[in-house]
Homo-oligomer: A and B are copies of this chain.
Amino acid sequence: MGEKKQTFRDYLSQQGLKSTRQREIILDEFLRCDSHLSTEDLYLKLRKKHPGIGYATVYRTLKIFSECGIAEARNFGDGQTRYESTTCEEHHDHLICKDCGAIIEFEDPGIEQLQEQVARDHGFAIVSHRLEIFGLCAKCQNKER
């Protein structure tokens, strides 16, 4: 079984929560899908095979995913919260195309280090951060002409 599924089940029992058919289905679909899905995105995908599952359940389940660390909530300023599966990989930030919505992930240790320096300079203790770069992806730059 996937590591994520195990993590989720462990979290549920440890919190006195219950393992249900819906939660399993939602997790399976979430892990199968591309990342950066909104609640509604996932709800609509699920509805095709499982019309009975309610929006509220998807919403609540995604929240549990992020509580137990297998997903992370993101907010790219389009008014919808998006969730992405946390991989074993490191933290990453995003390039976001304003035209087609494409999301490119990147990591830059240099930027991260400079952030820590900035925080130190202000006596500030970092808990988290987010860096989003908005613009046009290569494809959309070519389209423009």
Q: Which residues of A contact B (CB under 8 A)?
A: 75, 77, 95, 97-98, 104, 106, 108, 110-111, 114-115, 118-119, 121-138, 141
Contacts and interface: CB of A to CB of B under 8 A. Distances in A.
A134 B138 contact: no
Say how many copies of this protein the assembly contains. 2
A135 B126 contact: yes
A104 to B, nearest CB: 5
Contact of A141 (B125, B128, B130, B141): B125
Contacts of A123: 137-138, 141
Contacts of A111: 111, 114-115, 118
Given A95-B124, A111-B111, A111-B114, A129 B134 contact: yes
A130 B132 CA distance: 5
Given A95-B122, A118-B133, A126-B133, 6 more contacts: A104-B124, A106-B122, A124-B136, A124-B138, A126-B135, A129-B133
Contact of A106 (B77, B118, B129, B131): B118
A33 B135 CA distance: 31
Contact of A135 (B110, B114, B125): B125
A106 B132 CA distance: 16
A133 B115 contact: yes
12 contacts: A97-B124, A106-B118, A111-B118, A124-B135, A125-B136, A127-B135, A127-B136, A128-B134, A128-B135, A129-B132, A129-B134, A130-B132
